[in-house]
């Protein structure tokens, strides 16, 4: 956890927010010296916008195409990883159009009680550093992990086959990395069909 500064520093807050597509949390604002009262003053003055409980956006920062992913990641206290169908869509694999942001939280969070925001589908598992990649400001599961997660979650065979085939052709995964995919597609003619 970063050290908190005594006096508010717009430069520190801006630096944090710029690495997160213009978004920051109440805790990050506090680390930059902004009390909740001062943050409220900047919100009323129009410098920042409250987008969700505990999550804010610098109003002059350009909006991004994937702001929903950054908000979901910050909501997870930066512990979540964008995964499953959402990761496949970001990786440009298959014609999958996820209806929700898929976010994998650490397995130890399974027993936590919290309200999941609308539009976020939660999964619980530990994602090793080697199974992570970055898409802009947010972590995602790697291509092999994304494909195997989708296979285990019961993604339709046609979309799974399409995504795995594209990943193999583009050199983003090897067959040996796709054990769950192979197993899932076996009853439907396998990966090569």
From first to last of its 193 residues, what are the pLDDT tens digits of the chain?
555 656 888 999 999 999 999 999 999 999 999 999 999 999 999 999 999 999 999 999 888 889 999 999 999 999 999 999 999 999 999 888 899 999 999 999 999 888 899 999 999 999 999 999 999 899 999 999 999 999 999 999 999 999 999 999 999 999 999 999 999 999 998 887 4
Residue 35, pLDDT score:
92
pTM score, whole prediction:
0.89
Closest-CA residue to 65 (of 88, 85, 89): 89
Architecture label for domain 67-188: 2-Layer Sandwich (3.30)
| Burial degree of 3 (CB within 10 A; 0-12, 13-18, 19+) | exposed
Residue 193, pLDDT score:
46
Parts of the chain belonging to CATH 3.30.460.40: 67-188
Residue 29, pLDDT score:
95
The C-alpha atoms of residue 175 and residue 193 are separated, in whole angstroms, by: 14
Give every CB contact of residue 127 below 8 A, 6+ residues apart in sequence: 81, 83, 104, 141, 145
Q: Which pair of structure tokens corresponds to residue 45?
A: 């003055």
């Amino acid at each position: 956890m970063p050290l908190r500064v005594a006096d508010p520093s717009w430069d520190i807050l801006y630096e944090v927010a710029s690495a997160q597509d213009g978004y920051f949390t109440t805790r990050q604002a506090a680390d930059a010296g902004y009390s909740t009262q001062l943050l409220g003053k900047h919100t009323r003055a129009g410098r920042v916008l409250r987008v969700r409980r505990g999550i804010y956006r610098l109003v002059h920062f350009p909006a991004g195409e994937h702001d929903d992913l950054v908000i979901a990641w910050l909501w997870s206290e930066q512990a979540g990883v964008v995964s499953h169908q959402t990761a496949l869509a970001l990786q440009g694999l298959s014609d999958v159009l996820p209806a929700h942001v898929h976010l994998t939280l650490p397995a130890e969070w399974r027993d936590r009680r919290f309200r999941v925001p609308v539009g976020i589908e939660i999964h619980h598992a530990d994602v090793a550093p080697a199974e992570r990649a970055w898409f802009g400001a947010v972590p995602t599961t790697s291509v092999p992990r994304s494909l195997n997660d989708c296979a285990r979650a019961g993604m339709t065979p046609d979309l799974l086959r399409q995504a795995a085939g594209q990943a193999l052709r583009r050199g983003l995964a090897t067959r040996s990395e796709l054990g769950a995919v192979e197993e899932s597609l076996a009853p439907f003619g396998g990966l090569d069909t």
